[in-house]
Amino acid sequence: MTQTLEPVEIDGAKLEQFVFKAVDEVGATLNTALVVMGDRLGLYRALAGAGPLTSQELADRTGTAERYVREWLNAQAAGGYVDYDAESGRYTLPPEYAVALTDPDSPVYLPGFFQIALGTVHDSERIVEAARTGAGVGWHEHVHDVHDGCERFFRPGYHANLVSSWLPALDGVVAKLDRGARVADVGCGHGASTVLMATAFTNSSFQGSDYHEGSIEVARSRAEEAGVAGRAHFEVASAQSFTGRGFDLVTMFDCLHDMGDPVGAARHVREAIAPDGTWMIVEPAAGDRVEDNINPIGRAYYGFSTLLCTPASLSQEVGLALGAQAGEARIRDVVTAAGFTRFRRATATPFNLVYEARP
Ligand SMILES: C[S@@+](CC[C@H](N)C(=O)[O-])C[C@H]1O[C@@H](n2cnc3c(N)ncnc32)[C@H](O)[C@@H]1O
């Protein structure tokens, strides 16, 4: 018996709207590479505060080829990243955008966000293949733009919040750090958080660790550059095996959900932490349910989660794959399964949730 399907009525206006949205998104996708290009060639920095410039003037100031710069500027103008004055043929970077595109200490500094997105998309073919089998792709297997972009993306938020509001939101932790505490920063990547804490708390000692050797090498050099290498040491170790006992504070910044065995990591933290110690867990902002995360931040994080975080977790033992949008309830389950008796959300920003766990 053949089944006849009712013809589906197509709303032409809705279809057109969707196609135009998609055109805009293709432009935005290409803009990821264009922003990285502008950042690398110093185009945004040369535009910042310079007033209206021609493409030739911008090329002269940056030692680049005018024909490329003109096309780049037109793409930036069409995307609303620079203003174009048709009469003079000059382009201006608005001061607000200059902050977001050129000031690495601004909490809204964007180039790292684009850089990690570009690196992630660059590696996406591997994820397509992995999705056929369920295999993982480890953090260490990605291109440098993922690692470098990650540091440049997260550091501004840590710089703006970590010492001024996240640590003070934890019970009694700042007083201990001021007096002199032992801190383990686990899954520390390039050590942005470790260096910020070591700079702020000169009586305390810091041990950063990460399973990725390349990241630990960079972390060591960051500590040297910041002049804190004497109190910030680094080791290549997984969260399930980092060395040391009796830590007053254990921190994990945007990495618990990337781990294959977060419960195993939590158990190890429970063994390594002092009886009255604190475990600070910083995770991407997320609600517990999918419908809580249907918004622009959720969109970006689900994208990174599909292409980076979930494959990273699946590449490791257990492969729990919490995902970057795990939400508070699942993080609580992980923490309490490891024997921590107290867990609370200490504070939050639009991009991060900060949890406090105590033995
Ligand atoms: C998104 S990055 C965050 C890095 C750093 N904490 C930051 O905020 O910039 C996640 C980090 O977790 C690390 N990682 C993943 N699984 C790990 C594990 N099982 N043990 C230790 N580190 C792990 C990765 O190597 C990577 O450096």
Task: Please write the tens of the pLDDT for every residue from 110-141.
Answer: 999 999 999 999 999 999 999 999 999 999 99
Q: How far is the CA of 189 from the centre of ligand 1 (A)?
A: 5
Q: How far is the CA of 258 from the centre of ligand 1 (A)?
A: 7
Nearest to 277 by CA among 187, 169, 184, 193: 184
Q: Do the beta carbons of residue 191 and residue 234 sit within 8 Å? A: yes
Name which residue sits closest to atom 14 of ligand 1, judged by CA.
Answer: 187
* Total Cβ atoms within 10 A of residue 20: 10
- pLDDT score at 57: 98
Q: At what angle do helices 66-78 and 12-40 cross, to 10 degrees?
A: 140
Q: Do the beta carbons of residue 317 and residue 324 sit within 8 Å? A: no
Q: Do the beta carbons of residue 43 and residue 37 sit within 8 Å? A: yes
Q: Is 158 in the pocket of ligand 1 (CB under 6 A)?
A: no
Q: Is 269 in the pocket of ligand 1 (CB under 6 A)?
A: no
Instruction: For tokens 């090329």, name the residue.
Output: 59
State the Cα–Cα distance between residues 256 and 186, nearest whole angstrom. 9
Split at pLDDT 50, 70, 90, the class of 35 is very high
Average pLDDT, the chain: 97
Residue 210 has pLDDT above 80, yes or no: yes
Q: Is 215 in the pocket of ligand 1 (CB under 6 A)?
A: yes
Split at pLDDT 50, 70, 90, the class of 5 is confident
* Total Cβ atoms within 10 A of residue 49: 10
Q: For 276-301, what is the mean pLDDT?
A: 96
Q: How far is the CA of 210 from the centre of ligand 1 (A)?
A: 6
Residue 164 has pLDDT above 90, yes or no: yes
Q: Is 201 in the pocket of ligand 1 (CB under 6 A)?
A: no
Region for residue 134 given its phi and psi (left: phi exceeds 0; alpha: psi -120 to 50; beta: otherwise): left
CA distances from residue 133 to 127, 136, 303, 311 in whole angstroms, order as listed: 10, 9, 19, 11
Split at pLDDT 50, 70, 90, the class of 261 is very high
- pLDDT score at 340: 98
Q: Is 154 in the pocket of ligand 1 (CB under 6 A)?
A: yes
- pLDDT score at 6: 81
Per-residue pLDDT reduced to its tens digit, 326-345: 999 999 999 999 999 999 99
Name which residue sits closest to atom 16 of ligand 1, judged by CA.
Answer: 259
Q: Do the beta carbons of residue 123 and residue 149 sit within 8 Å? A: no
- pLDDT score at 2: 60
Instruction: For tokens 């920063």, name the residue.
Output: 185
Q: Is 237 in the pocket of ligand 1 (CB under 6 A)?
A: no
Strands 90-92 and 83-85: what pairing?
antiparallel
Q: Is 258 in the pocket of ligand 1 (CB under 6 A)?
A: yes
Nearest to 253 by CA among 208, 302, 311, 301: 208
Residue 1 has pLDDT above 70, yes or no: no
Name which residue sits closest to atom 23 of ligand 1, judged by CA.
Answer: 187
Contacts of 277 (CB under 8 A, 6+ apart): 246, 247, 248, 249, 250, 358, 359
- pLDDT score at 93: 98
Expressed in angstroms, the distance from the first to the final Cα of the chain is: 65
* pTM reported for the whole predicted model: 0.95
| Pocket mutation for ligand 1, best pick of 210, 257, 310 (most atoms within 8 Å of C-beta) | 210
Split at pLDDT 50, 70, 90, the class of 45 is very high
State the Cα–Cα distance between residues 243 and 238, nearest whole angstrom. 10
- pLDDT score at 7: 81
State the Cα–Cα distance between residues 89 and 78, nearest whole angstrom. 14
